[in-house]
């Protein structure tokens, strides 16, 4: 049996991907750009094993067996195997390895964050799977395009730091790949707060939502042709210069435009809730109070917010979030997860100036994190999710 375990991070788009020009190859209508979050707080872990002894291919996700016939998964398998054949024949190294490519595979994957966090866990999941398969089959070179076949945004989780997914021009998708723009060490003061909003509504999945927008939204066309290319260049400059004000403004405008496109979709799609809007309001009031842009929000296909800010502002911002949104019965400690932090009592001055009604019990908890690295191979057997027979531990 050959076995590999990897961990891969979650990414949050600051210039959003919304809409495909090819549904099978998962080619986007526009380039996008994201921040990779620290995998210590948010990561997928995947173990892949192949053996002559396995009688069929199987997959378990968060302890539940999944159907492996899912077309996206099958596309990923097909592509990585083709790439492996190519790599080995170039190196005149077929034989044994080629035989292995026909063996059945067992995959076991889990996330270290609750599904309720509503984060694009498929991005971390596919990035992790593709990284592990690449090690298993000895594939080197560009593989972010293989992760893209699983879920578009997954290609951006193939690198740490700040990552651009270039939409590419080729019809075969060979140039629609992710590229690092700056490393995870580039902007050490940058922090992220994931605000997990209490919400039971069933939402339209991103895949389906973006299809509807492509078919019906006029605004999406303008965005793709006239707005995104310019924003990608601007945000890259803001990242290069560590210009937080500029970074934050583009981030918020991008999030707002994504949700404007959703409203322009017919029938409209609404991902933001009253709580999301209240979070946006708090951010704008706080920035006004500070006389400059100190916090940025961004929302994906759900009501949870991701706030970006600098380390020095985290305690004050958390004190406000806790004041306005915290669950009534939870203790202060269980409200904030992730990096260690002392949160002071909110000041009367801040509360009076922000002047907003409180919405208790509307944010379940907050994950405090920073910018992190890309996928990692975990060599220690203790990390493996499969036992020595290749079944979930």
Give contact residues for ligand DP6 (rule: CB under 6 A): 13, 16-18, 26, 32, 120, 122-123, 151-153, 206-207, 300-301
Three-class SS of residue 316?
Answer: helix
Tokens of 246: 């500029």
The two beta strands, 104-111 and 58-61, are parallel
Tokens of 3: 């076995």
- Closest approach of ligand DP6 to the CB of residue 18, in Å: 6
- Closest approach of ligand DP6 to the CB of residue 304, in Å: 11
Residues in contact with 84: Cβ distance below 8 Å, sequence separation at least 6, in sequence order: 97, 101, 137, 138, 139
Between 217 and 384, name the residue whose CB sits nearer to ligand DP6.
217
323 phi, psi to nearest 5 deg = -65, -45
- Closest approach of ligand DP6 to the CB of residue 123, in Å: 6
Between 168 and 390, name the residue whose CB sits nearer to ligand DP6.
168
Tokens of 300: 């994906």
Looking up tokens 């075969």 gives: 172
* Whether 343 contacts 378, CB under 8 Å: no
Between 303 and 390, name the residue whose CB sits nearer to ligand DP6.
303
Between 46 and 122, name the residue whose CB sits nearer to ligand DP6.
122
- Closest approach of ligand DP6 to the CB of residue 64, in Å: 20
Cα–Cα distance list, 354 to 280, 282, 365 (Å) = 12, 7, 21
- Closest approach of ligand DP6 to the CB of residue 259, in Å: 10
Q: Which is nearest to 143 in space by CA: 217, 181, 200, 86? A: 86
DSSP alpha helix (H) spans, the chain: 71-90, 96-100, 121-137, 144-150, 206-216, 218-222, 228-240, 244-264, 274-290, 314-325, 332-335, 348-354
The two beta strands, 305-310 and 2-9, are unpaired
Between 16 and 43, name the residue whose CB sits nearer to ligand DP6.
16
- Closest approach of ligand DP6 to the CB of residue 210, in Å: 6
* Whether 146 contacts 72, CB under 8 Å: no
Between 302 and 390, name the residue whose CB sits nearer to ligand DP6.
302
- Closest approach of ligand DP6 to the CB of residue 32, in Å: 5
Between 34 and 184, name the residue whose CB sits nearer to ligand DP6.
34
Between 72 and 186, name the residue whose CB sits nearer to ligand DP6.
72
- Closest approach of ligand DP6 to the CB of residue 392, in Å: 25
Cα–Cα distance list, 190 to 67, 121, 343 (Å) = 39, 22, 18
Q: Measured at CB, which residue is nearest to ligand DP6?
A: 152
């Amino acid at each position: 049996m050959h076995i590999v375990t990897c961990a891969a991070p979650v990414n949050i788009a600051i210039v959003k991907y919304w809409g495909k020009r090819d549904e099978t190859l998962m080619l986007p209508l526009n380039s996008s750009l994201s921040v990779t979050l620290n995998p210590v707080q948010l990561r997928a872990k995947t173990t892949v094993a192949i053996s002559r002894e396995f009688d069929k291919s199987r997959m378990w996700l968060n302890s539940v067996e999944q159907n492996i016939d899912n077309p996206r998964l099958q596309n990923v398998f097909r592509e990585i195997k083709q790439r492996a054949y190519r790599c080995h024949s170039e190196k005149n190294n077929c034989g044994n390895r080629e035989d292995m490519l026909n063996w059945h595979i067992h995959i076991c994957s889990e996330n270290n964050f609750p599904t309720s966090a509503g984060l694009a866990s498929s991005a971390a999941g596919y990035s992790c799977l593709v990284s592990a398969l690449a090690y298993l089959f000895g594939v080197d070179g560009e593989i972010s395009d293989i992760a893209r076949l699983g879920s578009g945004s997954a290609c951006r989780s193939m690198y740490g730091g700040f990552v651009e997914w270039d939409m590419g021009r080729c019809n075969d998708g060979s140039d629609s790949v992710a590229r690092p723009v700056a490393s995870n060490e580039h902007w050490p003061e940058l922090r992220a707060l994931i605000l997990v909003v209490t919400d039971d509504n069933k939402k339209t999945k991103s895949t389906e939502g973006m299809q509807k927008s492509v078919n019906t939204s006029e605004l999406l066309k303008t965005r793709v042709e006239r707005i995104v290319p310019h924003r990608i260049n601007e945000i890259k400059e803001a990242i290069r210069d560590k210009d937080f004000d500029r970074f934050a403004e583009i981030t918020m405008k991008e999030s707002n435009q994504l949700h404007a496109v959703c409203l322009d979709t017919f029938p409209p799609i609404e991902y933001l809730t009253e709580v999301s809007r209240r979070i946006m309001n708090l951010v704008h009031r706080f920035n006004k109070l500070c006389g400059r842009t100190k916090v940025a929000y961004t929302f994906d296909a759900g009501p949870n917010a991701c706030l970006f800010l600098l380390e020095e502002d985290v305690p004050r911002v958390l004190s406000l979030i806790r004041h306005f949104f915290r669950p009534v019965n939870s203790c202060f400690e269980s409200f904030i997860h992730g990096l260690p932090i002392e949160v002071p009592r909110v000041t009367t001055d801040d509360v009076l100036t922000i002047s907003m009604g409180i919405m208790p019990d509307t944010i379940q908890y907050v994950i405090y994190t920073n910018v992190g690295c890309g996928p990692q191979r975990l060599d220690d057997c203790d990390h493996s999710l499969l036992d020595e027979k290749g079944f979930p531990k």
